[in-house]
């Protein structure tokens, strides 16, 4: 999976696709409180699947839940 950097906080993220065909930034490192399972797809971004907390040890968090500037990104997306 390709690791990118958040343009606001410089955290390592992975861009994933959701089931509704939207792009979602996901923290690159697994997290104990994570709910996002990344399903690898050759030649495509991984698919993000929401799971129960603690269901697996490789779950991650949505970067929107942890980025200090996430509200600014959401607002700018609505205005665009």
Range(s) of the domain holding residue 34: 4-79
The CA distance from 26 to 16, in Å, is: 7
pLDDT at 74: 64
The CA distance from 28 to 66, in Å, is: 12
Backbone angles phi, psi at 76, to 5 degrees: -65, -30
* Nearest alpha carbon to residue 25 among 79, 80, 77: 77
pLDDT at 28: 97
pLDDT at 56: 85
Q: Report how many domains make up the chain.
A: 1
Q: What is the residue-wise DSSP string for 61-80?
A: -BGGGT-TTHHHHHHHHHH-
Mean pLDDT over each residue of the chain, to the nearest integer: 88
**Predicted confidence band at 70 (pLDDT cuts at 50, 70, 90)?**
confident
């Amino acid at each position: 999976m390709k690791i990118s950097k958040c343009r606001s906080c410089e955290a390592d993220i992975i861009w994933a696709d959701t089931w509704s065909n939207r792009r979602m930034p996901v923290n690159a490192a697994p997290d104990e409180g994570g709910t996002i399972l990344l399903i690898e797809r050759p030649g495509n971004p991984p698919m993000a699947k929401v799971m129960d907390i603690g269901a697996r040890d490789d779950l991650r968090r949505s970067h929107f839940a942890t980025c200090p500037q996430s509200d600014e990104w959401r607002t700018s997306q609505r205005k665009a």
